[in-house]
Amino acid sequence: MNTVTLNRNCDFKRLYYKGKSYTNPALVIYLRRNGAGICRIGITVSKKIGSAVERNRCKRIIRAAYRNVSPCISGNWDIILVARNKTKYLKSTEIQTILTELLQKAGAVK
């Protein structure tokens, strides 16, 4: 499935206010259907998480987890993945199971 990166502030704001959110101690997802014909993803990590090294590691493991889950996603979605404090202590396989559970709750997985 094709995936495009969300990088415009207005896209993030739209999802935060109009999207549905699902939470876990390690990850929060905001998602909403789109009419673009593709999945679009954005990853955010707050400075509260730690130094730049820790924030980049969080982004990397979330990206790796999403890469493994993305073939299972059905439909066209805008998704924002927000790292939490617990994220930096987990591996990508653990994030992958959490992400799958959250997407199943949302009804975005086949």
44-89 residue pLDDT tens = 999 999 999 999 999 999 999 999 999 988 888 999 999 999 999 9
DSSP symbol at 48: G
For CA atoms 83, 86, 91, 97, give the dihedral sign.
negative
Question: Which CATH number fits the domain that encloses residue 31?
Answer: 3.30.230.10
Strand runs labelled E in 1-110: 3-5, 20-23, 27-33, 39-44, 77-83
pLDDT at 1 over 60: no
Count of CB atoms within 10 A of residue 63's CB?
15
For residue 81, the model assigns a pLDDT of 96
The total of structural domains in the chain comes to: 1
| C-alpha–C-alpha distance, residues 42 and 107, integer Å | 19
Whether the predicted model's global pTM rises above the 0.75 cut: yes
Residue for token digits 């789109």?
Answer: 34
- In this prediction, what percent of the chain has a pLDDT beyond 70? 99
